[in-house]
Amino acid sequence: MNGIVNYLKPPGITSHDAVMDIRRLLGERKVGHGGTLDPAAAGVLPVTVGRATRLFDFLLETDKEYIGEMLLGVATDTLDTCGKVLQRDCRIPPTGRIAERMAALTGELMQAPPMYSAVRVGGKRLYQLARKGETARVEPRRVTVRAFEFIEMTGRDRVRFRVVCSRGTYIRSLISDLGDALGCGACLSLLVRTRAGDFCIGDAHTFEQVREAFESGRVEAFLVPPDRPLARYPALRFPKEAEAPLRNGAFIPLAMAGADAASLPDGLVRLYCEEAFIGVGSVVCTPEGELVRVRRLLT
């Protein structure tokens, strides 16, 4: 069994819990996920199954989209409403200023992971250190926030928002930074991931739906073929005789696929031998001509 499940993670479980549930249900040892969701968050969690786990890195590189709610005037140690309150401020800024400050927190940003996160420092997770009252210095990372939009006020001190961002972006940190910019503090109160790359929440499956389809033998109802989420990369189709050299890591002429390097955008390509998807590759231009080599084999 090889493919990807567009899993609708409920709040209250970790991403690891979700993976373990799918692993036990399908009886597959190789199961992973394409981007951690906080336990309190819900939404799209791509779960790779079988040989599709080898494409994990390419799933992580995609943008994510979120709809959420923040609580203004409150700052906590976890940066969400689950933590200890560190600050309260009843002065809530006007909506125009809130939207203006949100728009200012877009583009390339340097962001440090929150202490209550799964990032490892010295072999330990940050949240493990935080629970012991310890702190650790973590270098900020470059992330890209493509959109941070005000949707509406859902209460006197609550704001619904939308974020589109790159991998590695912590929405809790973004909300905390907004609270600092507004001068009143803010923390995350609700978060739903609505999209991860090509996986959208409208097509996501609950665990009950996956179990029902699996037990009735309808695996195709929830298991997406491994190459479908990679449609952003151009496809190269080679004859059968190219399969063995590709699988052995050899460079082969691009001309065997009937393609021209000038017609391909820079970056990665999907590789097929006849109709069978075999993995992800890249094109290299050399004095001898344009050559193709596998970057990651599916099998």
Please compute, for residue 19, the number of CA atoms within 13 A of its CA located in the half-sphere on the CB side: 19
Closest alpha carbon to 82 in 192, 185, 180, 187 = 187
Query: At a CB cut-off of 8 Å and minimum separation 6, what does 261 contact?
Result: 254, 283, 285, 290
DSSP designation for 80: B
Q: Give the contacts of 299 (CB within 8 A, at least 6 positions apart).
A: 51, 247, 278, 279
As to burial, measured by CB atoms within 10 angstroms (0-12 exposed, 13-18 middle, 19+ buried), residue 35 is buried
| Catalytic residue of the set 17, 21, 38, 180 | 38
203 close to 237: Cβ distance less than 8 angstroms: no
Does residue 106 sit in helix, strand or coil? coil
Distance, CA of 55 to CA of 158 (rounded, Å): 39
Q: Which amino acid is at 246?
A: L
Residue 101 tokens, joined: 């400050």
Name the token pair of 258.
């009937």
157 is catalytic: no
Catalytic residue numbers read 38
